[in-house]
């Protein structure tokens, strides 16, 4: 199984890309030149700053010039490079790189409050990427447990649990997400909202997995090793957890990887419309609120960078999930056929 996965070059590229994103989120305090809430209102929507090494024909090492905001005859904001102000790029002080105030280094430009988009993207990855992992772990546990119980017992218990799953699956996902979010108190801070979103997304996401696991458990409960476990006096919960659910992991791993993008998009959608993570805390979703105006996108296209990272992470998870499904599919069929 491992060798088959490693032969898929697209899956490996996606794995490396996700590894870089999660590493950036983990070491955001070191990699980002500024805090996620560090503002410079005089540099609102400042374009990406160029890094230079030569000044007046002489080698100066990496540095950036100062920026001056002017207005055109049509009152359009224009930033002009001030070559009289030079700010050397300093490394490991204690961040990876930075410049002395009042200079600013914007690798990906600035937002409406003059905050560094690059720094906020790295800090935002902590929210947008971890919500998917934590949420899917909760829904994974719920789906396995509910599906295992329904498939093992069958009968009335199976009917009740499957009708509950069908009710959750019948409701449009996004509208159910909005309804559950509306039940969260308005006085929650961003940390409380973060965990509320995780729980909401988990509640929505476990039903589909539970139905599939239930179908697999219906056949697994008739296996000889399950009957042997009963004769040894193991409890029903022990049989489900130790002898039935492990045989559904092959399918579940692929299903989990394919469901993580839904959690990322769900958080981004809530934050985009103001119901998720609130400013000044950064997430890829609430960073896109600046991009809800065509005029802003026209004059500051770099505010769309969070959308690019959402796209990349979603594609990477889908590529890895498809690769795992292709690798594990023979194992799933083998488990189903005995």
Task: Evaluate the CA torsion angle 124, 125, 128, 130 in order and state its sign.
Answer: negative
> How far apart are alpha carbons 312 and 257 in whole angstroms?
15
CB atoms < 10 A from the CB of 182, how many?
9
The model's pTM: 0.84
Domains in the chain with CATH codes: 49-98 (no CATH), 117-337 (1.10.3720.10)
DSSP string, 79-145: EEEEEEEEEE-EESSSSSEE--TT----SS-B-TTS-BHHHHHHHHHHHHHHHHHHHHHHHHHHHHH
Helix, strand, coil % over all residues of the chain, rounded to 5: 65, 10, 25
Among 225, 186, 220, 180, which residue's Cα sits nearest to residue 203? Answer: 180
Only one residue has tokens 């359009």, namely 76
CA separation for the pair 320, 300 (Å, rounded): 33
- Residue 177: alpha-carbon gap to chain centroid: 17
Question: 26 to each of 108, 131, 197, 199, how far by Cα in Å?
Answer: 20, 14, 21, 22
Note down pLDDT in tens along the chain; length 338 residues. 556 666 778 888 999 999 999 999 999 999 999 999 888 888 889 999 999 998 888 888 899 998 888 887 777 778 888 888 999 999 998 899 999 888 899 999 999 888 999 999 999 999 889 888 888 888 888 888 888 888 888 888 889 988 888 888 877 777 777 777 777 777 777 778 888 888 888 877 788 888 888 888 888 888 888 888 888 888 888 888 888 888 887 777 777 888 888 888 888 888 887 777 888 888 898 898 888 888 888 888 999 999 999 999 999 998 888 888 777 665 444 444 44
């Amino acid at each position: 199984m491992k060798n088959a996965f490693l032969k898929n070059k697209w899956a490996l590229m996606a794995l490396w890309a996700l590894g870089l994103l999660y590493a950036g989120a983990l070491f955001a305090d070191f990699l980002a030149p500024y805090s996620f809430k560090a503002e410079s209102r005089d540099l609102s929507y400042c374009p990406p700053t160029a890094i230079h090494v030569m000044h007046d024909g002489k080698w100066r090492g990496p540095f950036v010039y100062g920026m001056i905001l002017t207005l055109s005859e049509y009152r359009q904001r224009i930033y002009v490079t001030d070559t009289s102000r030079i700010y050397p790029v300093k490394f490991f002080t204690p961040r990876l790189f930075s410049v002395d105030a009042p200079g600013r280094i914007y690798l990906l430009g600035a937002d409406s409050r003059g905050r560094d988009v690059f720094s906020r993207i790295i800090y935002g990855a902590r929210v947008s990427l971890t919500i998917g992992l934590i949420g899917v772990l909760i829904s994974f546990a719920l789906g396995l447990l509910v599906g295992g119980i329904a498939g093992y017992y069958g009968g009335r218990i199976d009917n009740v649990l499957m009708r509950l799953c069908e009710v959750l699956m019948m409701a449009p996902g996004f509208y159910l997400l909005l309804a559950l979010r509306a039940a969260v108190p308005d006085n929650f801070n961003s940390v409380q909202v973060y965990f509320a979103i995780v729980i909401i997304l988990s509640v929505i996401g476990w039903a589909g997995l539970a139905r599939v696991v239930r179908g697999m458990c219906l056949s697994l409960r008739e296996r000889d090793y399950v009957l042997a476990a009963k004769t040894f006096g193991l409890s029903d919960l022990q049989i489900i957890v130790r002898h039935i659910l492990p045989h559904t992991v092959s399918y579940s791993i692929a299903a989990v990887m394919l469901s993580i993008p839904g959690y990322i998009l769900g958080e981004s959608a809530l934050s985009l419309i103001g119901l998720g993570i609130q400013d000044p805390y950064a997430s890829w979703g609430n960073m896109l609120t600046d991009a809800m105006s065509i005029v802003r996108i026209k004059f500051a296209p770099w505010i769309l960078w969070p959308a690019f990272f959402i796209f990349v992470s979603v594609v990477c998870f889908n590529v890895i999930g498809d690769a795992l499904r292709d690798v594990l599919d023979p194992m799933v069929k083998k488990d189903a056929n005995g």
